[in-house]
């Protein structure tokens, strides 16, 4: 029998090697077709008396990344369609669909012949659950091997037997830690957790897997053997009596109850360990069916799985422009940002010239990459040879002529129009005619900077976030005259350095910074009102933000806030900044020299390590303090989320952001907007535009006109629209189909 996505080769020992190698795919992923073929392979190998056992592996450099985008989208489409067509049976159909993979893996587990998973690379989600259903697991010791059940990161949980098998193999505490965080495991860590049996050299993977079968591997899972006991003794032990209350408390502390899927993992494990294995699978299936219907699951999967992949693959790239090949990239400005941009460029294998005013400054910029490489080598994340190769791609220089053959130049000098003007002119004097100039400005409009260019169609903004090597988002900013080639080159570059891009039209602060400073400004309002700083910070975290607004302000620098306020007043007039905000920040910077983390004191104090930062006690003396009982924490949470989401809605209304996917992904990757919401616009869609408008009006009446809903929001509320409906990012492709 032949298959589209698999080959099956049986050797002289009767061992069938099943190799998963999907055509036209860089990575194996689960589709309905793939699962149908796996079921046929199970039936075929069971029926063939010559087959004594099966080794399941991948023909690609990775094992599998899990489910395919189309399969995920299809699941949600099915939910909507079935509820509309047959509401009485819709949940039953969803339950059955949710269990398809789970019971197929159970079929492998109980087929009567031994199966061994030979894991040769990244093995995620349902693929790792498939491996766990095999009777033996062998993993390569290559650095590329990573195993995980990361579903909680996109709002769902391991629903194909993961909660039941991991907890019966690794023990409860390790299982809960792994699944509620979605952490990745190396091959050695997976072996230590009893999730794989052997770790071998890459070239020994298939021989070792076959040898397990030759050595008499039993085709029975441990929990199907009589007398099986859960590691640690199960639920009804003194150790469990200590573990479970602590696990629930830790989860509450870390998630504030915002992630239903994480709680469902605890429930599935707790209930499943008290019953026979197959009953545990049913419990897991029940909870998965419940979770997949939540707003959180829908929104998180859409933004953090579907949209991120679509944007990363060039969803906004202009059609018809040839793909760029980067033989050399120039970075002008060897300060912290420029040095970091040079590092990520070289890490992508692209030669880069790092330019500064003199060779000493440029060379100093390269030392940043040297320190990053040394850290990676020290932690075993990079070999010495790999580090040396990366550093060899960075050439410090003070000579602009070295940019004469660059495909792209990224300017990352001081945020001063005159300084940038001089750089633009110097670069364009040597830059090849077809090459692109990109500015990394974070505050200055691209259209204004492009006026200094002789070729504005080839001028674009590429805004990185600090620290560049860790932050996954990049804003690609279009000036009024930016052409399609510049957009395509910028997006190709962002893809090459493995970042996620969002395309934003030109405006002061672009998209992310506009939202960030609304968040911070709301905290200023609260401080002035007398809300205790600790309540502001804690309420922000309870709302789902990774850090409070005052902590975030310290990170971006309090004196940067002052500079931005002064620039806004200079350009737009006194009304552009709330006077109380200016007074507060002037006092913090000019009188108290509290500039943020960079000088060790801002809204927080930063004592020497290992001591942790803490809120500056003097904050409470700046304004008369309200009593904690007089502050509604729920309202604080609403104000912080609504002010950001409202700013995001304004950018859509103004045409700054045109695709809701970019608003959502940008808000999560850019500053961590409550991921469980799916992002700023998904937050509005999730609670309903009408409900959001009513909340805005209520907050405006109590806390100021900046909460007033925009005309667009009012119109959408009246029409019952959503952002993903009104600004449907798939409308053009739907027309073409």
- Average pLDDT on 246-266 reads 94
**Residue pLDDT, tens place only, 488-517:** 999 999 999 999 999 999 888 789 999 999
What distance in Å separates the CA atoms of residue 257 and residue 266, rounded to the nearest whole number? 13
What distance in Å separates the CA atoms of residue 447 and residue 480, rounded to the nearest whole number? 6
Report residue 445's pLDDT band, with 50, 70 and 90 as the boundaries: confident
368 is catalytic: no
Higher-confidence residue: 81 or 652? 652
Percentage of the residues of the chain whose pLDDT score is greater than 90:
83
What distance in Å separates the CA atoms of residue 6 and residue 546, rounded to the nearest whole number? 43
Report residue 418's pLDDT band, with 50, 70 and 90 as the boundaries: confident
How much is the pLDDT for 736?
44
Determine the CATH number of domain 513-557+596-726.
1.10.1040.50
How much is the pLDDT for 414?
85
**Residue pLDDT, tens place only, 676-688:** 999 999 999 999 9
Report residue 93's pLDDT band, with 50, 70 and 90 as the boundaries: confident
Going 241 to 244 to 247 to 253, the CA torsion angle's sign is negative
How much is the pLDDT for 737?
45
In DSSP terms, 140 is beta-bridged to 200
6-293: CATH architecture? Alpha-Beta Complex (3.90)
Closest Cα partner for 186 from 28, 381, 387?
A: 381
Residues ≥6 apart with Cβ < 8 Å to 143: none
Closest Cα partner for 111 from 172, 46, 20?
A: 46
**Residue pLDDT, tens place only, 561-592:** 998 899 889 888 998 899 999 999 999 999 99
Judge whether 681 and 663 are in contact, CB under 8 Å. yes
The fold for domain 329-509 equals Rossmann fold (3.40.50)
User: Would the pLDDT of 140 be above 60?
Assistant: yes
- pTM, 2 dp: 0.91
- Average pLDDT on 157-169 reads 95
Structure tokens that stand for 2 in this block: 């032949």
Q: What sections of 322-468 are H helices per DSSP?
A: 336-347, 359-378, 384-392, 417-428, 446-450
Helix (H) or strand (E) holding 330: strand 329-332
User: Would the pLDDT of 455 be above 50?
Assistant: yes
What distance in Å separates the CA atoms of residue 641 and residue 672, rounded to the nearest whole number? 11
How much is the pLDDT for 287?
96
**Residue pLDDT, tens place only, 171-223:** 899 999 999 999 999 999 999 999 999 999 999 999 999 999 999 999 999 99
Poorest-pLDDT segment among 357-371, 433-447, 707-721: 433-447
For residue 600, is it left (φ>0), alpha (ψ between -120 and 50) or beta? left
What distance in Å separates the CA atoms of residue 618 and residue 73, rounded to the nearest whole number? 51
**Residue pLDDT, tens place only, 612-658:** 999 999 999 999 999 999 999 999 999 999 999 999 999 999 999 99
| ∠ CA 651-319-507, rounded to 5° | 20
The strand pair at 473-478 and 459-464 is best described as antiparallel
Report residue 732's pLDDT band, with 50, 70 and 90 as the boundaries: low
What distance in Å separates the CA atoms of residue 329 and residue 327, rounded to the nearest whole number? 7
Structure tokens that stand for 51 in this block: 């087959």
Looking at 197, 463, 581, 706, which residue is catalytic? 463
- Asked if the domains 6-293 and 329-509 are classified in one and the same CATH topology, the answer is no
What distance in Å separates the CA atoms of residue 150 and residue 152, rounded to the nearest whole number? 6
Going 70 to 72 to 78 to 84, the CA torsion angle's sign is negative
Burial of 656 (0-12, 13-18, 19+ CB in 10 A): buried
Judge whether 221 and 195 are in contact, CB under 8 Å. no
- Average pLDDT on 460-481 reads 93
DSSP at 185: B
What distance in Å separates the CA atoms of residue 368 and residue 374, rounded to the nearest whole number? 10
- Average pLDDT on 309-314 reads 90
**Residue pLDDT, tens place only, 313-345:** 888 999 899 999 999 999 999 999 999 999 999
Higher-confidence residue: 53 or 97? 53
Closest Cα partner for 445 from 486, 502, 490, 506?
A: 506
User: Would the pLDDT of 69 be above 70?
Assistant: no
Report residue 77's pLDDT band, with 50, 70 and 90 as the boundaries: confident
How much is the pLDDT for 341?
96
Structure tokens that stand for 48 in this block: 């063939």
- Whole-number average pLDDT of the chain: 93
User: Would the pLDDT of 664 be above 80?
Assistant: yes
User: Would the pLDDT of 428 be above 70?
Assistant: yes
Poorest-pLDDT segment among 519-523, 535-539, 629-633, 730-734: 730-734
The strand pair at 136-140 and 115-119 is best described as parallel
Higher-confidence residue: 260 or 734? 260
What distance in Å separates the CA atoms of residue 88 and residue 556, rounded to the nearest whole number? 52
User: Would the pLDDT of 393 be above 80?
Assistant: yes
Q: At what angle do helices 512-529 and 660-671 cross, to 10 degrees?
A: 60
| ∠ CA 490-445-557, rounded to 5° | 95
Domain ranges of the chain: 6-293, 329-509, 513-557+596-726
**Residue pLDDT, tens place only, 605-617:** 999 888 999 999 9
What distance in Å separates the CA atoms of residue 284 and residue 291, rounded to the nearest whole number? 10
For residue 359, is it left (φ>0), alpha (ψ between -120 and 50) or beta? alpha
- Average pLDDT on 360-383 reads 92
Closest Cα partner for 706 from 582, 557, 583, 576?
A: 576
What distance in Å separates the CA atoms of residue 268 and residue 208, rounded to the nearest whole number? 34
């Amino acid at each position: 029998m032949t298959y589209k996505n698999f080959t099956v080769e049986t050797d002289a020992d009767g061992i069938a090697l099943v190799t998963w190698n999907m055509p036209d795919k860089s990575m194996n992923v689960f589709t309905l077709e793939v699962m149908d073929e796996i079921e046929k392979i199970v039936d075929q190998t069971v029926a063939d008396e010559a087959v004594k056992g099966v080794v399941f592996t991948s023909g690609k450099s990775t094992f599998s990344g899990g489910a395919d985008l189309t399969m995920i989208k299809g699941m949600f489409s099915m939910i909507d369609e079935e509820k509309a067509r047959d509401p009485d049976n819709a949940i039953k159909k969803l339950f059955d669909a949710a269990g398809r993979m789970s019971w197929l893996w159970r079929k492998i587990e109980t087929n009567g012949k031994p199966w061994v998973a030979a894991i040769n690379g990244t093995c995620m989600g349902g693929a790792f659950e498939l491996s766990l259903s095999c009777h033996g697991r062998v993993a390569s010791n290559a650095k590329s091997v990573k195993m995980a059940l990361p579903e909680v990161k996109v709002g769902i949980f391991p629903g194909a037997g993961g909660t039941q098998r991991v907890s019966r193999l690794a023990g409860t505490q390790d299982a809960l830690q792994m699944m509620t965080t979605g952490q990745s495991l190396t091959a050695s860590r997976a072996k230590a957790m009893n999730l794989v049996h052997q770790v071998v050299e890459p070239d020994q993977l298939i021989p070792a897997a076959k040898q397990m079968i030759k050595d008499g591997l039993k085709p029975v899972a441990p929990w199907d053997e009589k007398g099986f006991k859960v590691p640690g003794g199960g639920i009804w032990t003194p150790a469990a009596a200590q573990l479970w209350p602590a696990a629930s408390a830790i989860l509450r502390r870390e998630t504030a109850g915002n992630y239903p899927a994480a709680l469902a993992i605890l429930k599935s494990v707790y209930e499943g360990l008290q019953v026979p294995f197959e009953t545990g699978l049913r419990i897991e299936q029940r909870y998965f069916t419940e979770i997949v219907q939540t707003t959180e699951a829908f929104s998180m999967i859409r933004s953090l799985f579907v949209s991120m992949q679509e944007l990363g693959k060039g969803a906004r790239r202009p059609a018809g422009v040839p793909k760029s090949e980067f033989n050399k990239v120039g970075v002008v400005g060897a300060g912290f940002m420029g040095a970091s941009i040079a590092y990520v460029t070289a890490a992508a294998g692209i030669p880069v010239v790092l330019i500064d005013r003199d060779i000493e400054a440029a060379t100093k910029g390269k030392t940043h990459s040297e320190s990053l490489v040394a850290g990676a080598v020290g932690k075993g994340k990079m070999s010495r040879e790999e580090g040396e190769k990366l550093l060899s791609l960075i050439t410090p220089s003070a000579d602009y002529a070295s940019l004469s053959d660059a495909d792209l130049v990224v300017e990352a000098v001081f945020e001063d129009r005159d300084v940038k003007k001089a750089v633009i002119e110097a670069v364009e004097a040597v830059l090849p005619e077809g090459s692109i100039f990109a500015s990394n400005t974070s505050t200055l409009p691209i259209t204004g900077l492009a006026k200094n260019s002789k070729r504005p169609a080839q001028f674009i903004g590429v805004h990185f976030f600090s620290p560049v090597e860790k932050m996954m988002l990049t804003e690609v900013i279009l000036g009024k005259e930016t052409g399609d080639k510049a957009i395509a080159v910028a997006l190709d570059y962002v893809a090459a350095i493995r970042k996620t891009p969002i395309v934003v039209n030109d405006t002061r602060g672009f998209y992310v910074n506009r939202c960030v400073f609304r968040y911070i400004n709301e905290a200023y309002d609260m401080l002035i009102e007398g809300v205790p700083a600790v309540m502001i910070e804690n309420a922000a975290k309870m709302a789902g933000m990774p850090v409070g607004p005052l902590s975030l302000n310290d990170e971006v620098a309090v004196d940067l806030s002052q500079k931005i306020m002064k620039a806004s007043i200079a350009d737009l007039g006194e009304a552009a900044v709330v006077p109380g905000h200016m007074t507060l920040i002037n006092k913090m910077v000019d009188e108290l020299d509290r500039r943020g983390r960079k000088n060790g004191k801002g809204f927080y104090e930063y004592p020497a390590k290992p001591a942790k930062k803490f809120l500056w006690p003097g904050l409470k003396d700046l304004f008369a303090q309200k009593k904690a009982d007089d502050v509604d924490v729920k309202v604080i949470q609403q104000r912080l989320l609504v002010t950001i989401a409202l700013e995001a809605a304004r950018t859509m209304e103004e045409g700054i952001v045109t695709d809701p996917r970019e608003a959502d992904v940008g808000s999560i990757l850019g500053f961590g907007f409550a991921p469980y919401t799916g992002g700023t616009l998904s937050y509005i869609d999730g609670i309903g535009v009408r409900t959001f408008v009513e909340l805005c009006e209520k907050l405006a009446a109590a806390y100021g006109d900046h909460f007033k809903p925009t005309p667009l929001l009012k119109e959408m509320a009246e029409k019952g629209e959503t952002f993903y409906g009104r600004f449907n990012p798939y409308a053009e492709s739907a027309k073409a189909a």
